[in-house]
Chains A and B, each alone.
Chain A
Amino acid sequence: MNAASNLPVRAAGEAGPPPSRVVAVVGPPNSGKSTLFNRLTGLRQKVANFPGVTVEQHLGKLRIEDEAELDVIDLPGVYSLNPRSEDERVTLDVLMGRMEGVPRPDTILLILDVTNLGRHLVLAAPVLALGLPTLIVLNMADELERRGGDVQVEELARRLGAPVALISAASGEGYDTVLQFLRGRIGIPRPVELPALNDLPRCREWAARLGAEAKYLPPAPPVWTRRLDGLFLHPVAGPLVFLAVVVAVFQTIFSAAAPLMDLVDRAVGASGDLVGRLLPEGPLRSLVVEGIWGGVGSVLVFLPQILILFLFIGLLEDSGYLARAALIADRTMAKVGLQGKSFIPLLSAYACAVPAIMATRTIENKRDRIATILIAPFMTCSARLPVYTLIIAAFLPERPLLGPLLGTRAAALLGLYVLGFAAAVVTARVLKSSILKSERTPFVLEMPPYRRPTLRQVGLRLFDRSKVFLRRAGTVILAMSILLWGLAHVPTKNGKAPEIADSFAGTIGRTVEPLIEPLGFNWKIGIGLITSLAAREVIVGTLGTIYGIEGDDDGASLQAALRHDLTPAGAVALLVFFAFAMQCMSTIAVVRRETGGWTWPILQFTYMGVLAWVGAFVAFRLVTALLA
């Protein structure tokens, strides 16, 4: 559409734009679009320091006093209007009004990183050629100033034929100009002739000329970024630092989280007792105390651990280290036929596979993208964390391995993460040398400068994470706990609740028992495996409910109860099972959506299920033999 015309025609200049209704936030990757979008709408879209964070459009509302409400659309970053990947296509489709359910934008905020103005201005040519009222937002003013750069905004506006604002989306400096523009209070300079859009060198020259005319003084190179890269990409120190960080994460998940978990545990226990005393003896009390408190409560305990995990992931993402990790991992990825870009979604799969699968949109090659989607659920997501730590803590005594730096439990957890990663890598290798074979696509990744993560940003992330976690506890896990409690109390025998083994729940568990007996699991674990098809951590809640109902000896912890039902070999088998199985409805749904059909999710579910069974079987036999 744009590459054909040599002299793009723009709408004739008017005194001011008509009051805008739908504002699109456009710009190159990592220029601060989502940061500005969040400021405009008060929403909290994901912001992080690497290119390709936003992969689909997000709508928000902006209300300016005495004006109508505006729709604001946050978009994936683009280098040009010639899309090459799924996320870039989204931006073009929205701009052209071709995206279903998204109104066609009539105003554009073009966000450019002013610390690299020359190259970013190139995008102004195709965007201005769209002929919509456009404000050129030069973002990162704070960084420009700190590193001693400068630009004359009015001059740039005149030469560009579009209004220009110099702002810092992060701190809010200069933000008023953006609002003024959206109110239609900023005069638009006379449009100028744009360079031929299909001639990239000419466009770049045009941008350079504009920069020179606006007296653009590029900032000094980021000294700290070079220093840090000198360390993190050092041939010896780099991998060591990487390893040290990983070990630190796992150790803190166990040691630092423990007191907090105790606290939550005691709060859950005390509130359960209190509620129990307030309610009269009977089915309602049983439902509330054993079903709900036992189920939801036993999952809640893991909130501190999950927050620690997210704290580390947040620091990696906000600082810019993630792009370096992708660089370091590229060789491994190349060996299995993928590229370093696949590594970024895989890393975010440590939080959750769902956003990770969305993030594969940045991978240009379709087959690489599908392969990455298929292996993402092998990465140890945060929902596995409660299951892993519960079983590890129940069966493995804590002993120091590397002094206070690494204990047995953290090492076991680390091992499970490695196991998941290995499964992913081997699967990728198989896929890429068979059904998903493709030409090698070049790995091209822009390295962002390091940025200091702000307390506010990290804090908000943790807050949002807690909300997500609590919402899950309050919906999926609560519903499953109540359902299970119900199934465990019917059919009644002589008006009395049955033994749990004879209840419907027990019957279901005993029906699947033959299938899982070779893995060392009994019918109670079987019930947990079934309920955890909804989401992995549900098994913890389920076991909590079952043991709560059984509960002859109160005070016996979940861990102690678990030791009755599982041999050490069975525990290892259960860990392996959870490492491989695809027990997550949301993941299945998002794979179906992103691959456009049921073929891939069904294949993936079956493959992972078979692998989980076989892996658990082998583990059970092996450990049984070893311990005999």
Chain B
Amino acid sequence: MNGSSDKTRPLLRFEGVVKRFGDVPAVDRVSLDIHEGEFFALLGPSGCGKTTLLRMLAGFEQLTEGHILLDGQDIGDVPPHRRPVNMMFQSYALFPHLTVAGNVAFGLKQEALPKSEIESRVSAMLALVRLEGYGGRKPQQLSGGQRQRVALARALVKRPRVLLLDEPLSALDRKLREETRFELVELQQRLGLTFIIVTHDQHEAMIMADRIGVMNRGQLVQVGPPSEVYEQPNSRWVAGFIGDINLIEGRVAATGPQGTEIKSETAGRLHAAQPADVSLGTSVWLAVRPEKVSIAAHAPEGSQTNVFAGKVADIGYLGNSSLYKVKLDNGLVMTAVVANRTRLLERPIGRYDRVWLSFPSDAGVVLTR
């Protein structure tokens, strides 16, 4: 099979995929293209349908509606054992009655390859995941991190067109998880494979993936590179799910090439650099990331747009940065995160101090949903 000949055709295409269990849609009208060599992350809260989407791709769930195309071919009727995709299960699903080498060789034996080839591929794969010398052990005799690598090796040795990873790091402790993130990315780039990873951890998705698909209640709500999803969320829900966000409600007073003017009953005049594609008077939210908000002990001079006065309600020291929760005079609570660059502020801002928050016009995103 040679699917890469046509550069413009996606390796994998979901077309209006729906999966209902009873009447409840677990996956709702998902359409998505994934390209050869991509590291794609499906991100969403628990229960949003990520695993179900992967299982449909692997062939364990039938689609209620829609199509899944691999290399342009509809794979809806292909049984799991004939699909050129492999899955790394969330529980790893290692065979307890087989050794590590037996687990890794299992998939190759199904292809009835010559014994010598199976042996050489298994040992090469064990070396790749740094498990040389562990081939004779049973999975029960391994640590969590080693089991994870066996599961990875077992799926990779089949040289799948797409490798599916269902929460591959969730069973590891934090330190190991952080190391393994980079190892996975490195492995994917070295082998030039297509990975689809499922995770509920936005840091994980942002660090590893080339593109992220954010899911909520079965729907794919936004797809894009990590920076785009973070900087240009398309809804309040996505903005809040990918990191912290300040939301200020208001109505559009003017919009055009010079940006969007928002009038808020509580927060005064706001300005965002981007034009908004809405009619005047529409109710919108201006979303600002806390690290884009600056905090000062004096009222800024000049323009009073995007400026709010308030009192520090709480301070959180995060080591490399500090987090200020400020109760504004209009009743809103806004958060500002400031990097701790210098060791001593000349006059540190304390609790209950009167402060002014401000952010530049290009910091905010206008959201209509």
Asked if chains A and B come from one complex, the reply is no
* Residues in chain A within 8 A of chain B (CB atoms): none
